[in-house]
Structure 1
Amino acid sequence: MFKKMIIKYWPNQQSISLNNTVVDLFIETEKKLESKIDNKSDQYLYLDILNEITKTELLKSILDEFKELILDMIEINLDSKILIKLNTKIVAIFIHRISNNFSLNFKLDYIRCNNIKLKDNYKYSIDYLLIYFIFGSSYIEDNIFLFEKLYTPYNHVKVLLENFIIQIGNVMIKQLISNLNNSININKFFKKQNICNKLYTSNRSIILFLNNLKWQNLIQSYIYEIKSLYNERQKVWIIGSEGITSKYIYLSKSKTIHNLNQIKIIFIFWLEIKDLLIPKTEEFIIQIAKYLLYCSINLFSNLILILIRIIVFYLNK
């Protein structure tokens, strides 16, 4: 007999049940951050430049600050729509607070934090998380995810939280590297602070690491992100038993399409044409190949028969 799987759902409204669920998720995430969090995905992260201890401290600091942010937002008692409108400023203040409170000796001032160009998935992450944690799943827009919002799985919110923590940490280290300006300064700073991953202790290894990241980000921005947008899915980073990995979740992106530049729109148009033409082209090629194969087999069979008859004819002589 198969045991029936019980799906745990996220609470719909503000309640004691919502508060308890939020606390449970924070405790569960804290425990995950105590385990090994090496990057086991197929992509580079700016976080990779940090050693294991520093990376763990940073991600824990982000989680702690997020707890404080939730408490502050509850105390202010903002409307959910106003909360969404203020998301960019909220993230800027959030990153600024982390950089001030984090034990690593670097500070990102508010102006720099406010100028950080956050991609849509970061903005959406903070939107959804604040709504889930403060108001409950009933306040999420309809048709954003695959499931009905009133039946939002607990694990879905868990994935969004883990992704948010990793993405914010990644953005902070990216901004720090940008502020340091060149590989020599980066190397000096990370060595002086004793926070560098052993793989990137030389100037040459840092240059190679940054070049790989730039190339990856370029491909990601103009190919993979557009394909994800077209397929309405979003890559998220999660903390698994082996470390940091990635997966895709469904996410409606109808609003994002309006903000794309011309090159990306052309690429989406090409994907539409490809999806329309390629199946029909493949079907046509397969039919032609079958016909040619059939003709070739018949021709070959006939040639063999003719050859046998010729041999028989000469043998009878």
Structure 2
Amino acid sequence: MITYWPSEQSLQLNYKVANLFLQTHKKFSEDLSNSTKENLPIDLVDTTARKKLFASVLSELEILVLDIIELNLNIENLHLLNHKILYDIIEKSLLRFISSLEYPSEFSFNLYKSYYFKLLLFDHRLLLENLLIYLIFGSSGIDIKLFPFEKWKTPLEHVKILLENLVIQISNIIVVSIIDEIKPISKVLDFLIINKLCNSTYISIRSIAVFRNNLIAQSIIILYFYQPKAVYSARYKVWLFSSQGLISRYIYTSRSNDYLKLCKIQLFCILCLELQDLIIPKLESLILVLGRIILYLFVNILGNSLRFLIRTIFSILSHSK
């Protein structure tokens, strides 16, 4: 039986939110390894550090929800301030995580330099705004065109997905910020080792440098190829907790407004996808027809050759008699 998310502000909504946060926190004790082939920034740190990261983000989100309720912000306010709210929750989660370490370091950071943050920023409404609306106002506040179900019949599982995705994505950007802002890379390694954060796979300057370069390359590919493809396909990639570790899935969502945010390179990628959709089916049909013709000719030539060979053999045998 499908459980639906409350549609209006109520005691039931408050209970659902509290229970959702509790259930999400329990998942931090499960397998937190990356079960996909994609590199995640949090791969750099060990399981204990990941738990701290996730807990820091979840705690700051709880505070954020209470602050928004106390300030009596409406949905329009959230829409206008979402960009700033996202930046603030990342900054506060980072500071909370750093302060929980044995040897915290003070450093400034500029998220806008990071390709990974550009990815999050492009999807900031899908990442944060819709989740805040669900948690504070209920499903009635969601744009009716956004998801493939009636908003007053929003599955509880859908809100769980959005929450888990936010926790994982912000944890990733926190690790990216640490890598980007602590210079040189040798100091990144020192920071990870003295605070007992280091994943045993990355215990040398070279391995961290390779990891960082792979992240940058992967982010650029996602930004200019996979992200416009997701917009074109009306899909959004989410990260989730599971019994097998961290996994990724795609959910359907209307992304017509995101076309306006695409740059020329991303639009060119969409043009290539449109040409692919136009040309490849016709090319496949042409190849299929040509294949049938070639097969027909081959069978006929082979059949005629065999008949000729058999007749020749019989002719030779009859002459020999």
TM-score, normalised to structure 1, is 0.92
CA–CA separation in structure 2 for the residues paired with 1:36 and 1:107: 31
Equivalent of 2:287 in 285, 292, 306: 285
Q: Which runs of 5+ in 1 are unaligned?
A: 1-5
The answer to whether the 8 A contact 1:93-1:113 is kept is no
Judge which range, 286-295 or 90-99, deviates more: 90-99
Deviation sequence 1:13-51 (CA, Å, 0-9, x none):
111111111111111101111223122221111112122
In the other structure, the counterpart of 1:91 is: 86
Q: Which runs of 5+ in 2 are unaligned?
A: none
**Counterparts in 2 of 1:150 and 1:107: CA distance versus 1, 3 Å:** farther
Judge which range, 273-282 or 177-186, deviates more: 177-186
Equivalent of 1:180 in 170, 179, 182: 182
Q: Secondary structure at the match of 1:198?
A: coil
- Kindly indicate whether residue 169 of structure 2 is the aligned counterpart of residue 167 of structure 1: yes
Deviation sequence 1:29-82 (CA, Å, 0-9, x none):
011112231222211111121221122012111111111111111111111011
The answer to whether the 8 A contact 1:232-1:253 is kept is yes
In the other structure, the counterpart of 2:301 is: 299
Deviation sequence 1:182-231 (CA, Å, 0-9, x none):
31121122222222212212111111211221222122222222222221
Judge which range, 176-185 or 286-295, deviates more: 176-185
**Counterparts in 2 of 1:98 and 1:310: CA distance versus 1, 3 Å:** closer
In the other structure, the counterpart of 2:228 is: 226
Q: Secondary structure at the match of 1:44?
A: coil
In the other structure, the counterpart of 1:26 is: 21
In the other structure, the counterpart of 1:3 is: none
CA–CA separation in structure 2 for the residues paired with 1:249 and 1:187: 37
Deviation sequence 1:286-308 (CA, Å, 0-9, x none):
11110111121112111222222
Question: What aligned pairs does 1:251-290 form with structure 2 within 5 A after superposition?
Answer: 251-290=253-292
**Counterparts in 2 of 1:43 and 1:220: CA distance versus 1, 3 Å:** same
- Kindly indicate whether residue 3 of structure 2 is the aligned counterpart of residue 8 of structure 1: yes
- The residue identity in structure 2 corresponding to 1:273 is L
- The residue identity in structure 2 corresponding to 1:71 is L
The answer to whether the 8 A contact 2:5-2:156 is kept is yes
Shift of 1:143: 2.0
In the other structure, the counterpart of 1:311 is: 313
CA–CA separation in structure 2 for the residues paired with 1:227 and 1:266: 11
In the other structure, the counterpart of 1:130 is: 132
Judge which range, 301-310 or 290-299, deviates more: 301-310
Deviation sequence 1:96-124 (CA, Å, 0-9, x none):
32233331324566x84688644322442
**Counterparts in 2 of 1:89 and 1:114: CA distance versus 1, 3 Å:** farther
CA–CA separation in structure 2 for the residues paired with 1:163 and 1:108: 27
Q: Secondary structure at the match of 2:261?
A: coil
Q: Secondary structure at the match of 1:119?
A: helix
**Counterparts in 2 of 1:23 and 1:193: CA distance versus 1, 3 Å:** same
- The residue identity in structure 1 corresponding to 2:290 is I
